[in-house]
Structure 1
């Protein structure tokens, strides 16, 4: 097995040879016919197919015979002499052949087909359901581990590792796709604003599914001891060795070692290694950072649109306002309100703790800035500090947050009348009700079906009841908007 890995793969030579366009066309025809379960081809059939292409207008049968011989030397095709169709001795002497494609060539053509479909960008996806499938497959494997039937254990383990490999490959490819230069260029386009909520919701849904299933998967992995898996790996190896094969088989220790390596990689992906975080935590950080990047791009686009907006009418209105003033003191006061105080000192403060782009400045706690003496002899005193446990404060803050969210959800639930929230029928509401409704309306407008999901996972749809304008009253102002209603589908 080790010596085979050191030998050159002559079957791949046709992809980069001098006449690769001819060899690839011939083997592509072999691959297409193989997929149609037609395994043997005659030279006349190959020649008739190639002559349909304008590139082969001057192609001759002698060139075809030379190309077929070269492909046979490279072991891409296998010639078999046809003896049952000859009518004369001369025909037998001509050695008519039919050709069959080798397994290596079929797999390489499949790889080329996938590469052409992939193009220059990464594929992949973030499917939260794969974690649920992996969890179900692990449970089945844990149940079958003590089964004497090696076929059942082998099938259960193949399901486990197949789902695990799909999770790793799809997630890494999709994260690389989002980080690619082409996608970042599109994010800087104003058309991206229509898709930002869909992107963020898709990634957020994946994070929730990952967090929900990963704890159960980690618990199940801890329950399966190394000894139990070793016994299962031995049964898997015995079953695979029992399958009749004409070629050389791998020995039993190699099969057991391969299963144990796969089990180790599965555990390291979820638990990490000594001194290194797990890939699961890295994936969670990457997806969270991706949501932040999308939000930042959307905020920059909004600021750019606001910056290039014409202020011609605004300045005319302000000029007329100043013209109506009677004394210079009132004009100075109005200027301070509109343009700020001249000659102010700007003090840098830490960024706000909240990452919500819709949060108001007075909702965030103030930042304390310590001004140090501006003398060269000043030195800050250093005192050894102790590590203070704030578990109780964290638990109290979390309980307060959950209680607050529950109260807000209860207020929203009281607005639902017959699975609908008719905005025109609402009286005066709290500001957070207005923000929640506007958030739902924005998500629905970004969807082609005018549907989305709330933070609690309920499916909603936006309905326009009439063409008139309505007013939503709140303590901090009034909002005019179309006559809309939000219908709860689930």
Structure 2
């Protein structure tokens, strides 16, 4: 017997621990996000998801951190310090982590979910033929022909099938879909693991680079050839046909002799309809976001780019470390066969370039024409300064001009403008308050001033603030109705506010 069989598996401890509900809720979310190719999660994401459930309404951030630490100790999660959003040394010392579920945890959660749904096993590969098989099954399931007796009625192919044939076709369709999604997710997650990334940095990876890249590209080609047809079939599938298919599948399921208690028909219909919804959502998406097919395409393309980058870096590193000994020996033999020194100088200039050259640059190009000759352009005059340490350019002393009169005029104009604006604001104050709903057509400056006061008061807990002149006021909301503040440059729809001055 192997020694591994006798060792305890600490990764399954969370299934029987005291706080099993909290641990299972956390790891189930990690597993579902892993299936969606989202491998690293922050504690804030986990807490936000858990609080959506009625069972975690009182769940605190401290409890979550304790549970995450415990799951790390049980080897269910792998912490990794996040340095992408660090802006200071203090934040780096706080060691903010993001977490990834371990392969053991993924397999355990997949097994538990399989026990819950009585599913089958999975495989980690990118099988191109699964798209073609999936497309053929959909064509058989949704095929129809026109009824000669009723011109507007469609006769679907499933109506000519027996319940057993329909059940077998459905199982074939959903099995291919499950193999496709689970296999692609597992294989791409394998390529994104740390162990594989470490192997990609070695020179031995170069021999596998072309095979892996071709494998991924062939998968993408098959996906692009068939995905559009599958999406069109799913989008055009009528709801009446899906209802008919799920009902017949539930009837056939109930006809199978079983010794245990049979589930109700509505439950079976709901299960088959949920499988159809999973298939549709994976290809077409829903209102909550893009389809998983788009995720798969993006991740596959990113994996191809990452593999290419790793191979390029290895090639560059190999090229840098490559010995140039043979090249130098070839050049030395070339120089040795020269008959004259002048011929050796010409070879040297061709191989190593011209020695002791001076590069002169002045101004910019007068034209962007790539075919223009330098002799056709106007010459540029450059004044060369003496390279003497004590050299200084000659300057003429200038008189200091007094701008006191211009400053006084500007200040006077500014004060007059402020005084006129204050008069405009004072003109809309009635009984020590400003009722925005009763204001006539106002100047744009008044509208900007009112909005500035409203913004100041919104930051205060009691909605109180001060004007530029020091007057204290409070913002009051009259009711839930909206009003229109009319100005010379347009109208503004806003809440029904009243600005009440306190002194």
TM range (shorter): 0.3 to 0.5
Computing the radius of gyration from Cα coordinates, the structure with the larger value is 2
What TM-score do the two structures reach when normalised by structure 1?
A: 0.42
What TM-score do the two structures reach when normalised by structure 2?
A: 0.41
